[in-house]
Amino acid sequence: MRERIIMPLLVIVAATLAAAMAASQSAPPTLPDIPNPKVVVEAPEIGKFGGTYIVSSISDPRTFNPIVAQETSSTGVTGAIFEGLVEQNYLTGEIEPGLAESWTTSPDGRTWTFTLRQGVRWTDGTPLTMDDVLFSLEAVFTDGVQTSTVDLLTIEDKPIRWRKVDDRRIAFMTDKPVGTFLRLIGSLDIIPKHKLGDALAKGGAEFNKTYGIDTPPREIVGTGLFILQSYVPGQRVTLLRNPNYWKVDRQGNRLPYLTRYVILIVPNLEAARLKFLAKETDLYSARAREFAEFKQGEQAGNYTIHDGPETFSSEFLVFNQNPTGVAPPKLTWFQDVRFRRALNYAIDRKTIAEQVYAGRASPAWGPESTGNTLYYNPKLPQYPYDTGRAQQLLAEAGYQKGSEGLLRDAQGNIVEFIISTNAGNTDREAIGNIVRQDFTKLGIRVTFAPEAFNTLVGKLTGTFKWEAVIIGLTGGIEPVTGRNVWLSSGSLHMWWPKQEKPATEWEVEIDRLFERATAEINQNRRRQLYFQYQEVVATQVPMMFFTNPKTQPAVRNTLGNIKLGLQGVPGELETLYQKTTSRP
Amino acid sequence: MIRHIVRRMLQLIPMLLGITVMSFVIIQLSPGDFLAEIRLNPIVSQETVDRMRTNFGLDQPLHVQYLRWLTNIVRGDFGYSFAYQVPVLWLVRSRLFNTLLLNIIALIVAWAIGIPIGIHAATHQYSWSDNLLSLFSYVGISTPTFFSGLLLLFVAFKTGWLPIGGMTSLDYDLFPWYGKAFDVARHLVIPVMVLGVLAVAGLTRQMRANLLEVLRQDYVKTARAKGLAERVVVNKHAVRNAINPLITIFGFELGGLLSGSAILEVVIGWPGLGQLILDAVVRKDLYVVMGSLVIGGVTLVLGNLIADILLAYSDPRIRYD
Amino acid sequence: MTEAVGDQGSGISHGPGEERQAATSSAQPPETGPLTRPQPGRLPGTQPRTPLQLAWRQLRRHRLALLGGVVLVIFYVMALVADFLAPYPLDFSDRERFYHPPAALHLRDATGEWHLRPFVYATRLVDPGLRTFEADRSRGYPVRFFVRGEPYRLLWLVPTRVHLFGVDDPARIFLMGSDGFGRDVFTRIVYGSRISLIVGLLVVAVTIPIGMVYGGIAGYFGGRVDNLMMRVAEVIIAFPSFYLLLTLSAVLPATVGCATRFYLIIVILSSIGWAGFARLIRGYVLALKQFEFVLAAKAMGQGDLRIILRHVLPNTSSLVIIVATLTIPSAILGESALSFLGLGVREPCSSWGNLLSAGANLINLSRSPWLLIPGLFIVATVVAFNFLGDGLRDALDPRMRTG
């Protein structure tokens, strides 16, 4: 999914009006200018106003244009300034109203109608109108605009269609029902037409450059929690509270509580860690290996380190099954499911979890993380570490260990291959070392050769000349957003991308499951389809997943409203507050 | 002299052409391009990637890309960064000052310390203080900068005396001018120490050797024989002559002002050119790389040129006409 | 490094006698005159000693230089007999004992009894996060010397299984602790010295011959030739080797061994690095060619090439030795910087640079400081080379001779 949704820190908890009424047992709060503000009920406490919240980021934002923004370093900033029609609840992953206060679906599931919230204003005082929504859609679909949102809003090669119903309502139409439509439309950030209209009129290339990091901060106008105050390259981004925001807490206080939100730019995780321990920042996403040490320092450091859930990202080993990339006999081994299953048994996931993640990772058997509570299939076939079993399976498949201790296939070829990964990623390098030793025990001659990231990707997506690779992918909640990976025609279908027609039966099966899941509106039935796809992947082992590492956010104790969400996000920006506002 | 300067500036042109052509080819030699990261994003389609390639002009043949870049340079347009979508010049300008500030201060500090130490070492050759100073400066230059930077950060963290990396504090903008100056000065201590130690060690050694040589020459002996105080001999006559050869080093250092601190900047988070250029190279942000190459090449040559000019002024025997 | 000196080269020297060989190089043919300006009243012939003796005398007075020499001898010997010194094979890893602190050697056991032979206890991982281990004090494992272990060839010749020391399983003797994979840091340092110590020699072996010839020609002929050659050299000096390096690491095939690959990169790098040295030599030669012995050779009608090779370049020998002793340490530092950027020697090979850059982070600094020991080796080597270089400079420069 879009980073905005992967990073629920910036995503907002809310509840329906009815829930709010039930909670407060009183009339729904209103604001002078906004008749129907969104009431945030899930925050445990009513906060105090004022205070600064400081986090760190290890790279500079690359743009302040939310349509163009790709990396977390950019979306981390734009997410506090711009918003979509709907939002994802950071605790549950469910979709909730955003700039649209409500929506309806037609019975056939092909038309979705959204009603815009009244009274919302851009931070320069201009009212938010339906024209802004239409403009944002236009921007996404303008030729030359660099955005991945266009891929989300294009369903089976057909862009979604839309129609302005009246000044407050817009209808979206698709040819087929789309089960995940709400999530997709949530990836569209609404941008101000009165500020960006001229740039878009000059074409996509010009639009890509507007709202760049060289823009004077006051030019950047959003509807979100914060207003950009300043950006100092290589040092920090400072944001100030939006005094006219459209959400309130249970008591009707206008959110957010925080006066200032600062993103410090630090060169690396080491520096981020030091800054946190020196109490210069309020949040640090500790690495697994640091958990125990941080636990010890809680008292002295005045912070709490949380035992967070697993992330959605996964690290895996994949063998090249693409005939343009490798030739027999290697191709034959890699395409042989018995070979892949045997090797999967030889991977010592416990050692990986202990050495690489200091014990804070659970073994992974399938493509969806344990942390994805909505769609993770807990009943997958497992491949517990068992070198004997692996050897037995290899023997059954015709692979024999020769007298010199090397494994040979049925034709007598020595089994050897190169495992690559991107150099500099210490976790993957460590995993690679362990896996190399594991496979060596089977008599396989393995070379482990990390390469530059660019080179590796060039091979994976361009030349296809590689044998085995350890790499990771970021995941979203809805597996269908990973269609590029799982559809046999996908460009990231690692082991054999962009197939004309699926090479194997099980790939046909995955294609079919994805197609059905995409169109399935009922979440339970969609879950069943996702379960099936995970099972196929776990049985056929095109990728060998290692572990799902846990998150361990360390949070300063001065912060209020901390409640861990998906992927270990400690709280939401709108309700976080400083209990003691020593800092201005 | 002026003719010499003009000639050197003209020589710069083919040199820069050579450097840029070579780098352009080399950057393109390795597989992969700027879009690598985007390609690995599961939600981005092949079409979107292709569209970006066209936008960036990466689908053009190499020589077309290069020539287009070159003609733009002549018009003062260094192109746009792929990653940031802002002009390369803006990116460089936003960090240039910080790198210069750090390096110039380190340079001043190094010269202010290195020369007196060198004089001391030469006038006390093989004394315990000479040996101790040698040992100290050698350990200094023998420690990799990434390591000593990290150690000093650790010390700063443990003691709380100094800020941990960066260049300004959070509330920098609220400070009066002297508060700002003090704030930056505090942040400068660690990087200047790391860079300074490197330069001090080199300068000390050079100064020591030069002075030792001068002190053995006849005019110094004559001066001594005339009964001048040793201090006068050293300070008035010998030191002046011993410093002359260092001017060339000074020129080198000027040339290295922009690149000398790159790794250190990355380690301690100094918001200079180092991190920017390293990222650009790794990510193949083509025009940022090319732009910084040109700027780096120009400073290098300018540094050498300034050294030539200084040398001509300080040593009447050298003439360039 | 002796190779660099020209006609008396005897190959790259690895071990003992480093400084002696360096010093002999100055014992050049009779023309070894004053190096820059002729010094009236200080003729070499007035001393009753050979230049070698003079240099040695001078060097002996430079205590730090001697110390540096001794340290280097020890290190190079260590590199030569690495497999004998190392208790474990290079790729040995103990999956149960990662981040293990340096082995505690005991003389007194749990019952209070004293032993002559030091012993260690077997340990067990308690907490992977805190990196804590618990010793089983019920049984001690004595340190044995000249134990049988992994087979290897001593000095690449003698097949043997004998290692200097070791302990019985399941105890481990991690003299300098273990790293994140449970590999013995001492073993990796000892093996790493092979790469780290040869890097400098390799660089010198490539840069110096090229630099001498190029700089010699430019300086000797002067004028247009000089101008053109120096402009070319300047392009190379100004060329950002960093980019070249990044690219090379991408272009070189992944199948060559991690060490081979690194040597390739070093060779290519130093084939750029000669330019700075060439400029130095050229300046020197420019001054040298005004001297009588060159003019005399010219007057005798000797060919230019012959003059350059026989008369001019040999006179730069002391400069070359000094530059060599100073280039080697900078190459070692360069290797560590490359490793820091992820471009140096790659896993599973080890070098001091990649050991240090893998260990140099703040968690290790506070939790597993022994992972920074490779840094001490780097610093010690570089300091030693610098001292030696300094001492040699003083010793080889005739003007410096006081006795």
Nearest residue, CB atoms, B269 vs list A204, A232, A267: A267
Domain count, chain A: 2
Q: A168 near A115, Cβ under 8 Å?
A: yes
Q: Is residue C226 part of a domain?
A: yes
pLDDT at B317: 59
* C52-58 long-range contacts, CB within 8 A, separation 24+: C52/C23, C52/C24, C52/C26, C52/C27, C54/C395, C54/C398, C54/C401, C55/C23, C55/C26, C55/C392, C55/C395, C55/C396, C56/C23, C56/C395, C57/C403, C58/C394, C58/C395, C58/C400, C58/C401, C58/C403
The tens digit of pLDDT for each residue in A51-63 reads 999 999 988 898 9
The tens digit of pLDDT for each residue in A136-171 reads 999 999 988 888 888 888 887 889 999 999 999 999
The string over C358-370, giving b where at least 16 C-beta atoms fall within 10 Å of a residue's C-beta and e elsewhere, is: bbbbbbbbebbeb
Q: Is residue C131 part of a domain?
A: yes
Q: Is residue C176 part of a domain?
A: yes
Compute the average pLDDT of residues A354-381.
Answer: 90
pLDDT at C375: 87
Domain count, chain C: 2
pLDDT at B152: 87
Among the candidates C166, C183, C200, a domain finishes at: C183
Looking at the structure, do residues A343 and A214 belong to the same domain, yes or no?
no
Q: Is residue C113 part of a domain?
A: yes
pLDDT at C401: 42
Helix/strand/coil (H, E, C) string of A223-259?
CCCEEEEEEECCCEEEEEECCCCCEECCCCCECCCCC
Q: Is residue C52 part of a domain?
A: no
Q: Is residue A299 part of a domain?
A: no
Determine, for residues B126 and C240 on separate chains, whether the beta-carbon distance falls below 8 Å. Answer: no
**Residue B48 at interface with chain C, using a CB cutoff of 8 Å:** no
Nearest residue, CB atoms, C250 vs list A360, A418, A451: A451
Cβ-based contacts of A448 with chain C (< 8 Å): 347-348
Instruction: Categorize the per-residue pLDDT at A18 as very low, low, confident or very high, splitting at 50, 70 and 90.
Output: very low
Identify the top-confidence range among A119-123, B214-218, C285-289. A119-123
On average, the pLDDT of chain B sits at: 80
Q: Is residue A378 part of a domain?
A: yes
Distance from the B142 Cα atom to the nearest Cα atom in chain A, whole angstroms: 23
The tens digit of pLDDT for each residue in B248-296 reads 777 777 777 777 788 888 888 888 888 888 788 777 788 888 888 788 7
Scanning C356-395 for CB atoms below 8 A from B yields 356-357, 360-362, 365-366, 372, 375, 378-380, 382-383, 386-387, 390, 393
Instruction: Categorize the per-residue pLDDT at B316 as very low, low, confident or very high, splitting at 50, 70 and 90.
Output: low
Identify the top-confidence range among A130-139, A443-452, B101-110, B300-309. A130-139
Q: Is residue A106 part of a domain?
A: yes
Determine, for residues A450 and C95 on separate chains, whether the beta-carbon distance falls below 8 Å. Answer: no
pLDDT at A81: 96
Among the candidates C146, C168, C183, a domain finishes at: C183
Distance from the A385 Cα atom to the nearest Cα atom in chain B, whole angstroms: 30
Strands (E), A431-530: 445-451, 468-473
Looking at the structure, do residues C225 and C363 belong to the same domain, yes or no?
yes
C382: closest CA among C356, C347, C343? C356
Looking at the structure, do residues A141 and A261 belong to the same domain, yes or no?
yes
Q: Is residue C70 part of a domain?
A: no
Between chain A and chain B, the number of residue pairs with CB atoms below 8 A apart is: 175
Q: A416 near A434, Cβ under 8 Å?
A: no
Q: For an interface test with A, give the residue of B33, B39, B40 to mutate (most A CBs within 10 A).
A: B40
Compute the average pLDDT of residues C379-389.
Answer: 86
Compute the average pLDDT of residues C230-258.
Answer: 69
Q: Is residue A309 part of a domain?
A: no
pLDDT at A7: 35
Compute the average pLDDT of residues A527-546.
Answer: 94
Dist. CA C317–CA A156, nearest whole Å:
74
Nearest residue, CB atoms, B157 vs list A152, A208, A278: A278
Looking at the structure, do residues C207 and C341 belong to the same domain, yes or no?
yes
Residue C159 burial (C-beta neighbours within 10 Å; 0-12, 13-18, 19+): exposed
Among the candidates C129, C149, C183, a domain finishes at: C183
pLDDT at A504: 93
Distance from the A40 Cα atom to the nearest Cα atom in chain B, whole angstroms: 30
Looking at the structure, do residues A101 and A114 belong to the same domain, yes or no?
yes
A358: domain CATH number? 3.10.105.10
Q: Is residue C274 part of a domain?
A: yes
Nearest residue, CB atoms, B293 vs list C240, C247, C337: C240
Q: Is residue A583 part of a domain?
A: no
On average, the pLDDT of chain C sits at: 74
Compute the average pLDDT of residues A109-135.
Answer: 94
Q: What share of chain A has pLDDT > 90, as a percent?
A: 55
Looking at the structure, do residues C253 and C143 belong to the same domain, yes or no?
no
Looking at the structure, do residues C381 and C236 belong to the same domain, yes or no?
yes
Q: Which residue in this structure is represented by tokens 């999956």?
A: C95
Instruction: Categorize the per-residue pLDDT at A66 as very low, low, confident or very high, splitting at 50, 70 and 90.
Output: very high
pLDDT at A525: 92
Q: A79 near A10, Cβ under 8 Å?
A: yes
Looking at the structure, do residues C207 and C151 belong to the same domain, yes or no?
no
Looking at the structure, do residues A380 and A252 belong to the same domain, yes or no?
no
pLDDT above 50: residue C16: no
Between C14 and A128, name the one with better pLDDT.
A128
The tens digit of pLDDT for each residue in B91-118 reads 888 888 899 899 899 989 988 988 888 8
Domains defined for chain B, CATH in brackets: 94-268 (1.10.3720.10)
Q: Is residue A6 part of a domain?
A: no
The whole domain housing A379 covers: 314-549
Looking at the structure, do residues C288 and C199 belong to the same domain, yes or no?
yes
pLDDT at A582: 55
The ipTM (two decimal places) reads: 0.81
Determine, for residues C250 and B32 on separate chains, whether the beta-carbon distance falls below 8 Å. Answer: yes
Compute the average pLDDT of residues A399-417.
Answer: 89
The tens digit of pLDDT for each residue in B17-75 reads 877 887 777 777 766 677 777 777 766 777 777 877 787 777 788 888 888 888 888 88
The whole domain housing C364 covers: 186-400
For the whole model, what pTM was predicted?
0.81
The tens digit of pLDDT for each residue in C18-53 reads 333 333 333 333 333 333 343 343 444 444 566 677
Scanning A455-474 for CB atoms below 8 A from B yields 455-463, 471, 473-474
Looking at the structure, do residues C197 and C245 belong to the same domain, yes or no?
yes
Report the neighbours of C using a cutoff of 3 or more CB pairs below 8 angstroms.
Answer: A, B
Looking at the structure, do residues C138 and C224 belong to the same domain, yes or no?
no
Q: Is residue C82 part of a domain?
A: no
Between chain A and chain C, the number of residue pairs with CB atoms below 8 A apart is: 70
C354: domain CATH number? 1.10.3720.10
Looking at the structure, do residues C203 and C307 belong to the same domain, yes or no?
yes
Spell out the residues 6+ positions from residue A277 whose beta carbon is closer than 8 angstroms to its own.
Answer: A284, A297, A301, B157
Looking at the structure, do residues A411 and A503 belong to the same domain, yes or no?
yes
* Collapsed DSSP state (helix, strand, coil) of residue C36: coil
Determine, for residues B289 and C243 on separate chains, whether the beta-carbon distance falls below 8 Å. Answer: yes
pLDDT at C21: 31
Q: B294 near B22, Cβ under 8 Å?
A: no
Looking at the structure, do residues C260 and C165 belong to the same domain, yes or no?
no
Looking at the structure, do residues C179 and C191 belong to the same domain, yes or no?
no
Looking at the structure, do residues A269 and A372 belong to the same domain, yes or no?
no
pLDDT above 80: residue B153: yes
Q: Is residue A204 part of a domain?
A: yes
Looking at the structure, do residues A461 and A565 belong to the same domain, yes or no?
no
Looking at the structure, do residues C315 and C256 belong to the same domain, yes or no?
yes
Distance from the B142 Cα atom to the nearest Cα atom in chain C, whole angstroms: 5
**In the structure encoding, which two tokens stand for residue C69, read together?**
């020499």
pLDDT above 60: residue C402: no
Looking at the structure, do residues A561 and A533 belong to the same domain, yes or no?
no
Determine, for residues C246 and A452 on separate chains, whether the beta-carbon distance falls below 8 Å. Answer: yes
pLDDT above 90: residue A176: no
Between A332 and C7, name the one with better pLDDT.
A332
Cβ-based contacts of C235 with chain B (< 8 Å): 15, 18-19
Instruction: Categorize the per-residue pLDDT at C252 as very low, low, confident or very high, splitting at 50, 70 and 90.
Output: low
The tens digit of pLDDT for each residue in C340-353 reads 776 777 777 888 88
Q: Is residue A308 part of a domain?
A: no
**In the structure encoding, which two tokens stand for residue C166, read together?**
């070791």
pLDDT above 90: residue A541: yes
Looking at the structure, do residues A557 and A545 belong to the same domain, yes or no?
no
pLDDT at A148: 82
A82: domain CATH number? 3.40.190.10
B286: closest CA among B44, B78, B77, B74? B78
